[in-house]
Amino acid sequence: MSVALVTGASGGIGRAICLKLLQHNYDVIAHYNTANETFAGDFREYASRVCAVKADITKKSDIENLSKLIEAQYGTIDHVINAAGIAADGLLIKYPERLWDEVIDVNLSGCFRVIKAMLPLMAQQGGHIITIASRSAVRGTTGQCAYSASKAALLGLTLSLARELAPHNIRVNAVMPGYCGTPMGLANLKALAAARKDSVLNTLSDAEEAAGLIFFILNTKTVTGQIFTLDSRC
């Protein structure tokens, strides 16, 4: 039985990933922070194989406690999927440094903290680390300097870790969905409409498709250091 940690499990993409893995008999630690715990009701059909855990990934102590919980309950972990992230849009000329720090701390430093804490539980048997980045990392979006910068940095983290962890049979990849109609995406209807218009298929990206690709990657043995794009904007 494979054990997977999914951060940001209460978000649209995180929830879709959890459901996909549960449907294929994975044990899932569904991490959340600001959401109400009732989000886990989406997984009630799989209650015996899912553990919802609240933690603030900007706090080292919370991540250490999460690691201890996983070790005590499962003994090891096979896969880490980093889907936690926030956006705080605004033009740079008026952008508060406080918001910049918050976005970087969650999207980039939070990912770093989670991976570092989970590595000792993965090193013995190998596994996969998959990080949810964004097309904004390579395309850029007006008003999203902090978000785009944080997601671009995740690509560098992915490529470096793929080399660093290869001797331990830990494969590291990133997935870049385009604009999705998730709660985060729906928070900016202007950007959502622009993304749809810019799509050659006149459509948005899909959280379930992202979950399907992640499930596929988790079942590969020779794929690491890759950045997968899921979008229809050329």
User: Residue 184: is its pLDDT beyond 80?
Assistant: no
| Residues with catalytic function | 147
SS3 126: coil
Is the pLDDT score of 162 beyond 70?
yes
Q: CA 18, 140, 102, 34: dihedral to nearest 10 degrees?
A: -30
Say if residues 65 and 31 touch (Cβ distance below 8 Å): no
Residue type, 139: R
Task: DSSP letter for 108, please.
Answer: I
Q: Which of 171, 146, 167, 139 is nearest to 158 (CA)?
A: 171
What's the CATH number for 3-230? 3.40.50.720
Instruction: Report the percentage of the chain scoring pLDDT > 70.
Output: 85
Which pLDDT score, from 0 to 100, does residue 190 have? 65
Q: How confident is the model at residue 146 (pLDDT cuts 50, 70, 90)?
A: very high
Half-sphere exposure (CA, 13 Å, Cβ side) for 161?
Answer: 23
Q: Is 225 helix (H, G, I), strand (E, B) or coil?
A: coil
Read off the pLDDT of residues 60-103 as tens digits, 9 standing for 90 and up.
999 999 999 999 999 999 999 999 999 898 999 999 999 999 99
- pLDDT computed for residue 17 by the predictor: 96
Residues 176-184: what's their mean pLDDT?
67
Question: Quick check: 205 pLDDT over 90?
Answer: no
pLDDT digits (tens, 9 = 90+) for 14-35: 999 999 999 999 999 999 998 7
Beta partners for residue 73, in sequence order: none
User: How is the chain split into domains, by residue range?
Assistant: 3-230
In the β-sheet with 50-54, what is the strand arrangement from edge to edge? 50-54, 27-32, 3-7, 79-82, 127-132, 170-177, 227-230
Does residue 180 carry a pLDDT above 60? no
Q: What kind and span of H or E run contains 175?
A: strand 170-177
Counted residue by residue, the chain has a size of 234
The answer to whether 80 touches 71, Cβ cutoff 8 Å, is: no
Look up the pTM and report it.
0.90
